[in-house]
A = this chain, B = another copy of it.
């Protein structure tokens, strides 16, 4: 296993963080990476471990992997190692890391509100975007389900996407979002980072559609928040670095025919 780099790990304990994810795509791992990057906290990313990257994921998901004495096995990646702890499920990893990295409250019920918003954003901008290119046969190629994908994409573009964007705008318009561009409590939280990645990926997958949504003026707060995250110094540096993977055949794919009339 590679060693974490030398940046200070600012956590309750001194254990290093390790992210396990597929190489070559941003994917769901990106939601986790953005928390570390914004917080300026070092982490090991197995996706960047060359030839070890795929075997590490396959070992995590193997049929004979039953976890260990204290950790249940993972169904899929991303997964997180932190000391003796092993966690999977994207929203669960974010829930664990948020308060530790200064990206969610450590007391009170705010964490449940942030989890609620993050789950909803993941439903739309990650899970439902994925299903536009894989609506009926999850293990098969896109090319084997193009007519179905076209139909699912139409439902996404015409109904689901505007409905979710309107929801996020409602969150921003509500008093619980507080001052400034952020979703909750007047402060940047991990929900904002999740929204940034969701919008960014969806703009890659459906550029014409997302331009229409921007230009409609109905969701100005959403796109303003997106820009505000993009300009955070640590995020800006990260996006320009080679740690940021390019979009390709992951969750967010650009098939132009899916947004043609």
Contacts and interface: CB of A to CB of B under 8 A. Distances in A.
Interface in A70-86: 70-75, 85
Contacts of A73: 167, 170-171, 174
A225 to B, nearest CB: 14
B138 A75 contact: no
A118 to B, nearest CB: 9
Report the contact-size class of chain A (Cβ under 8 Å from the partner): 35 or more
Contact of A159 (B69, B138, B167): B138
27 contacts: A66-B170, A66-B173, A66-B174, A67-B170, A68-B175, A68-B176, A70-B176, A72-B113, A72-B174, A72-B177, A73-B170, A73-B171, A74-B116, A75-B123, A87-B113, A88-B116, A91-B119, A135-B148, A136-B151, A137-B151, A137-B152, A137-B154, A138-B159, A138-B160, A140-B155, A148-B148, A148-B151
Given A71-B113, A75-B120, A138-B159, 15 more contacts: A63-B166, A66-B171, A67-B170, A68-B175, A70-B176, A72-B171, A74-B116, A87-B113, A92-B116, A96-B109, A96-B112, A135-B148, A137-B154, A137-B155, A139-B155
